[in-house]
Structure 1
Amino acid sequence: MSGICQGRVVAVTGAGRGLGRAHALAFAAEGAHLVVNDLGVGLDGTPDPASPAEQVVAEIRAAGGEAVAHGADIATTEGAASLITTALDTYGRLDTLVNNAGFLRDRMLVNLDEDDWNAVLRVHLTGHFLTLRHAAAHWRAQSAAGRTPDARVINTSSGAGLLGSVGQGNYSAAKAGIIALTLVAAAELARYGVQVNAVAPAARTRMTEHVFAHTMAAPDTGFDAMAPGNVSPLVVWLGSADSTGVTGRVFETEAGRITVMDGWRPGPTDDKGARRTPTDAGRTARALLAQAPPPEAVYGAR
């Protein structure tokens, strides 16, 4: 195989199904060597007897590519560290980390208990942090030894992290946290030759099949707008050497659309130069709000 990732070593978490599987196959098609991580659990995080990571590895090898399975829990220090170790022990290097693993426990806020809150933040946000931390430590050591890497990290956020989503307070908070983590990591790791970006994808997976269940391929083109593979080309490019100079960015991607998100920027402002009264603060706030564009609607509230 040859392509824009020829010879690069790529680790993808949650790669047994859905978006992760599509990313792994797309990287392999571009010549990458894969570490395919999947814990093999159900949509709610409970154990699943299947071994989807091994199945994806078999697909990649059948197509002539190279891949190894990794089944540890990346939301633990040991599991995250072993992901990096597996890449180094198998291929001698790690070039790209794709953080994708996650699951849902949706509840309205008044019904959302602490266990469901913690479980979702643990897998999405802590899982991103731990793998990123251990990969970054390796790349920092490489840089200190005079072998500055050309490394990439692609984190997975969501429209829920950008706008919020009714019934998904835990998921939305975790995905928003991933964006902030991406920005910090991009700033801190640039000196070590590491670029860090995030994608906010929309695609039909186990986590979103209830949303996109009725989205079908266009009859005239055969293009399935919600197929997970539509997201993977951007992820592969961000994980390749071709994306040099692109870091600290968040991309929303769906079907054939790619959007560079603008993020938080200062809007209308007023500086009195002195302490305000509550009434004055409120009057000023309303005047500034009248000059600012209205916020985008939260998903599920439109």
Structure 2
Amino acid sequence: MNNTPRKTYEPTPARKVAFLGLGVMGYPMAGHLAQAGHQVTVYNRTASKSIAWCSEYTGAGAVKHAQTPRLAAQQAEFVFCCVGNDDDLAQVTLGADGAFAGMEPGSVFVDHTTASARVARELYRAAKDMGLHFIDAPVSGGQAGAQNGVLTVMCGGDQAAFDKAQPVAMAFSKAFTRLGESGAGQLAKMVNQICIAGLVQGLSEAIAFGQQAGLDMNQVLDVIGKGAAQSWQLDNRGKTMVADKFDFGFAVDWMRKDLGLVLDEAKRNGARLPVTALVDQFYADVQHMGGQRWDTSSLIRRLR
């Protein structure tokens, strides 16, 4: 029995789709596509994960796995992807075994990897030269959002390609929004991560201060969560921070990767990010404490 929670899917014609990358995000995202009635072919670098996914979702409809991204992409109208970084993305898109080599003219590649705006624009141009479409579409909502099919997706690319992909992608999204031309999705995700970095550091300092002052911080969080200090981080991470629990969620290693992209882009566009740069170094401290896989809310560990 598959473990992806059930959701109500908007009726949409069944499409032939591929999904590349079955990590903690991609695995349930591909599952929602199958449960929405689409014909899904999956590829994962570790083939056993693809085999396990097919076994889990056989009851959802027509599912299969392929040995290469190119084979997975053959005859697919849409190829979705969620891998680790720029290099991983290049490996699954380009070259003789890459997805672009197997895609039909006019088909759409939708990339959910959090990657650089530079690689998004490069792959957009490469796809266009081959008669394909490319949308950069990083997501927010974390593992829980992927499992529940309620991700927020920030997109960059051509309007026509976006319009074709949106109804299919709503199988795992609560919002799928075009924010501009190629690269705009990745830039918007950087804005998202800048906000989160500052919020988590502020929440860490607030909780550490309150605990040092002898307050019942669970009670305090209940109170201030009804006022101007309310945020998703406070609602979903505040009490686990009080309890010193971090063995879940979005890993510090992943956040440092994302903030590295942010700071590189800021060097290019001239944006000043003093707080973000400082919090990035605080996350480096957490890594040195052994917290590479701890949730990002573990920033508070530095203050204890």
> TM-score if structure 2 supplies the norm length?
0.46
Instruction: Kindly indicate whether structure 1 or structure 2 has the higher relative contact order, using CA contacts under 8 Å at least 6 residues apart.
Output: 1
TM-score scaled to structure 1, two decimals? 0.47
Hey, which of these two has a bigger chunk of helix by percent?
2
